[in-house]
Amino acid sequence: MGVAQLATGAISDALGRRWLIVGGMFVQAAALGVLATAPGFWLALAAMATLGLGTALVYPTLIAVVSDVAHPQWRATATGAYRFWRDAGYVIGALVAGVVADQLGLNWAVGVVAALTLTSGLVTLGRMPETHVRSSSAPT
């Protein structure tokens, strides 16, 4: 689903960032929830493909938000700060998931990640303004 990022980046330029991020997080949370409870291979495979689609909605769009809000002179620094905290989240998330998996099992760990992703989507829905303003001279 990585190829889908080519399309979602362009879609976020046309439609805006907020709803792709929120929608993508909800898709990811749903896919992780299905994955945590999937009784068989084919459903788990479908959940993983859906997770990839949700990630394609979110991943390039979050980088675009940084470009939207950072002054051009600070854009590289802002992108670096965003990537640092994003990557730190991967590390912390992996540690939390590992502890939960050791204590409760792998399905619970995936479920916790699903819950955290859903919570992030809800916080984003409630707090993030649209950052991409289409130019009035842009073709419609």
| 75-114 pLDDT per residue, tens | 999 999 999 999 999 999 999 999 999 999 999 999 999 9
* Residue 100 domain flag: yes
Distance of CA 15 to the CA centre of its chain: 17
Query: Which one-letter DSSP state was computed for residue 135?
Result: P
* Residue 26 domain flag: yes
* Residue 27 domain flag: yes
* Residue 59 domain flag: yes
Q: What is the pLDDT of residue 50?
A: 96
Q: What is the pLDDT of residue 45?
A: 97
Quote the CA–CA distance of 9 and 24 in Å, as a whole number: 12
* Residue 71 domain flag: yes
pLDDT score of 140 more than 50: no
Quote the CA–CA distance of 87 and 55 in Å, as a whole number: 15
pLDDT score of 69 more than 60: yes
Quote the CA–CA distance of 41 and 44 in Å, as a whole number: 5
Token pair in block for residue 6: 């080519």
* Residue 83 domain flag: yes
Contact 57, 64 (CB under 8 A): no
Residues 6+ positions from 34 with CB-CB distance below 8 Å: 43, 44, 46, 47, 50
* Residue 135 domain flag: no
pLDDT score of 62 more than 50: yes
Name the percent of the chain in helix, strand, coil, to the closest 5: 80, 0, 20
* Residue 137 domain flag: no
Q: Give the residue numbers spanning the domain of 106.
A: 4-127
Give helix 106-127 / helix 18-37 axis angle, nearest 10°.
Answer: 160
pLDDT band, residue 1 (cuts 50/70/90): low
Domain count, the chain: 1
| 17-55 pLDDT per residue, tens | 999 999 999 999 999 999 999 999 999 999 999 999 999
pLDDT band, residue 9 (cuts 50/70/90): confident
| 109-136 pLDDT per residue, tens | 999 999 999 999 999 999 999 998 765 5
- Alpha-carbon distances, residue 105 vs 32, 94, 102, 119, 125 (angstroms): 15, 14, 6, 21, 31
